[in-house]
Amino acid sequence: MTEESAVLYVVPTPLGNMGDLTRRAEEVLRSVPWVAAEDTRHSGPLLKQLGSQARTLAAHHHNEHEAAARIIERLQAGESVALISDAGTPGISDPGAKVVAAVRAAGCKVVPLPGPCALTTALSASGLLEEHFLFYGFLPSKGSQRRQALTELIELPYALAFYEAPHRILETVADLATVFGERTLVIARELTKMFESIHSGPLTAALDWLKEDSNRQRGEFVLLLSGAPAGGDDGEGERVLKLLLAEGLPVKQAAKLASAITGAAKNALYERALALKEAGGGGGGG
Ligand code: SAM
């Protein structure tokens, strides 16, 4: 391999079904002299199965800077490197972005391969009608920070996409219901795997649906939420809420009245009022 042809390939790997590894990904992983993996032990069996002779180096969240330096060294020596994460597309709620940025800054070529990604897989089967979507990834793990983050998304007329782990699925769905009220939630679980399931229904009923069968709380999740309704009930609710807070009404009373006046969800307005007060923009009265 000549110096000019050395590139960093960004290679998506299967979420759970080996049949989803593309032919091109296979060829790259077989032909490159180096694979930079999020977890070299985890990716070992995949590389072995492909008959890859590549040497591996670790590129995870805690060593991305050093990993980038090593990768650039290899590229400048004329050796191509494939970057992979444990599953799916590197850089999507996974390490990879820092490596890619450093490699590009060093003037080396980056070649991305299309392939498996939990986000696009879930979205393609969601049936949500919004033209636009916002990929949020993982929400904060602490409840108050999570609700705060969610309240900032209330008015967006886009489908919202979140990644979530099994041990937090119940609390996150509960918070979604508290903050957003009446919306459609799609719960995409264990995509491409044996127990794949895609459930769609009203957000307010989703918590009960999850609790009905503990198996529904297992595995890996993508949560997709419909956007704020066009015409902006939520927007009107917030407008009235801000007026009431500015008049000095306490948070609880302002939320209750704004909900009664506009029909927007009371819980969501309450969370929003708290967030506004914390940010110092909600006027007086607590
Ligand atoms: N880079 C990956 C991608 O391209 O989708 C995502 C990596 S992130 C560390 C892992 C999260 O992705 C999981 O917690 C889950 O939210 C989502 N995920 C990964 N595999 C999944 C699957 N088979 N079904 C549903 N969600 C999945």
- Report which of residues 267 and 82 the model is more confident about: 82
C-alpha triplet 244, 248, 253: angle, nearest 5°: 60
pLDDT at 279: 65
| Closest atom of ligand 1 to CA, residue 88 | 4
Where are the CATH 3.40.1010.10 domain residues in the chain?
7-116
pLDDT at 277: 78
Strands (E), the chain: 7-10, 34-37, 55-58, 81-84, 109-112, 133-138, 159-164, 184-189, 197-202, 221-225
The three-class DSSP label of residue 242 is: helix
Taking the centre of ligand 1 as the mean of its atom positions, its distance from the CA of residue 223, in whole angstroms, is 11
> What is the distance between the alpha carbons of residues 75 and 104, in angstroms, rounded to a whole number?
11
Asked if pLDDT for residue 19 goes beyond 80, the answer is yes
- Mutation pick for ligand 1 pocket among 139, 217, 221 (CB with most ligand atoms within 8 Å): 221
Query: What superfamily does domain 119-225 belong to in CATH?
Result: Tetrapyrrole methylase, C-terminal domain (3.30.950.10)
Q: Is 162 in the pocket of ligand 1 (CB under 6 A)?
A: no
pLDDT digits 0-9 by tens, 29-86: 999 999 999 999 999 999 999 999 999 999 999 999 999 999 999 999 999 999 999 9
Alpha-carbon 121 to chain mean position? 12
Per the listing, tokens 């708290």 go with 274
What's this model's pTM, rounded to 2 decimal places? 0.84
pLDDT at 280: 66
Taking the centre of ligand 1 as the mean of its atom positions, its distance from the CA of residue 21, in whole angstroms, is 15
Taking the centre of ligand 1 as the mean of its atom positions, its distance from the CA of residue 86, in whole angstroms, is 10
The three-class DSSP label of residue 96 is: coil
> What is the distance between the alpha carbons of residues 102 and 31, in angstroms, rounded to a whole number?
23
Taking the centre of ligand 1 as the mean of its atom positions, its distance from the CA of residue 118, in whole angstroms, is 5
Residue 178: HSE in the Cβ half-sphere, 13 Å Cα cutoff: 17
Which residues, including other chains, have CB under 8 Å from residue 143's CB and lie 6 or more apart?
171, 175
Taking the centre of ligand 1 as the mean of its atom positions, its distance from the CA of residue 88, in whole angstroms, is 7
Percent of the chain surpassing pLDDT 90: 80
For ligand 1, atom 16: residue with the closest CA: 163
Per the listing, tokens 């506004």 go with 276
Query: What superfamily does domain 7-116 belong to in CATH?
Result: Tetrapyrrole methylase, N-terminal domain (3.40.1010.10)
Where are the CATH 3.30.950.10 domain residues in the chain?
119-225
| Closest atom of ligand 1 to CA, residue 138 | 16
Q: Is 193 in the pocket of ligand 1 (CB under 6 A)?
A: yes
Which residues, including other chains, have CB under 8 Å from residue 233's CB and lie 6 or more apart?
262, 263, 264
Asked if pLDDT for residue 15 goes beyond 60, the answer is yes
DSSP code of 216?
G
> What is the distance between the alpha carbons of residues 170 and 164, in angstroms, rounded to a whole number?
10
